[in-house]
Amino acid sequence: QVQLVESGGGLVQPGGSLRLSCAASGRFFSINAMGWYRQAPGKQRELVATITRGANTNYADSVKGRFTISRDNTKNTEYLQMNSLKPEDTAVYYCKATVMLTMGRSDDYWGQGTQVTVSS
C-alpha cells in the first residue's frame, strides 16, 4: 500500500558528497516524521537524521555539520545531503517514514536501502 523508493547511493571518495532521496507513494492520508538510518556490516542499525512534517530536524552526533536532512511535502520526498564524507560513513542507508494511513492509524515503512561506500 505504501512504498518508499530510495536513490542516490554509490561510491564516493573521502571528502566527497552524495545526495540521497526517498520518495513515498501509495494510498495514505499523510506522512508524519521521516528519517534516515544506516547499518554497516556486523553493526546495529543507527539513526542518522529525522525530520518532522514541520521540518524540525534531529541528527546523530557523528554527522552533525556534515549531513542535512530535508523534505518536500508536495512531492512526498525526503533527502539527505551528505558532505565531507568519511570512510566510516560507509553503510547501507535506509529511509523510514511514519505514515498516517487513515485518521487515527499510523504505521512505519522502510525503504529497500541504498549502499553508500566512501573509499579511495
User: Does the pLDDT of residue 5 top 90, yes or no?
Assistant: yes
Quick one: pLDDT at residue 108? 96
- In whole angstroms, give the CA distance from residue 84 to residue 80: 13
Q: So what's the pLDDT on residue 22? A: 97
pLDDT in tens, 46-69: 999 999 999 999 999 999 999 999
Q: Is 113 helix (H, G, I), strand (E, B) or coil?
A: coil
- SS3 at position 61: coil
Side-chain-side CA neighbours of 85 within 13 Å: the count stands at 22
Torsion angle in degrees (nearest 10) through CA of 76, 57, 6, 45: -140
Going from the C-alpha of 76 to that of each of 2, 22, 89, the distances in angstroms are 11, 8, 26
Confidence of residue 23 (pLDDT cuts 50, 70, 90): very high
Which tens digits make up the pLDDT trace of 70-118? 999 999 999 999 999 999 999 999 999 999 998 889 999 999 999 999 9
Which residues, in sequence order, are CB contacts of 65 under 8 Å at separation 6+? none
CB-based contacts of 17, cutoff 8 Å, min separation 6 = 81, 82, 83, 84, 85
Q: What are 52's strand-pairing partners? A: none
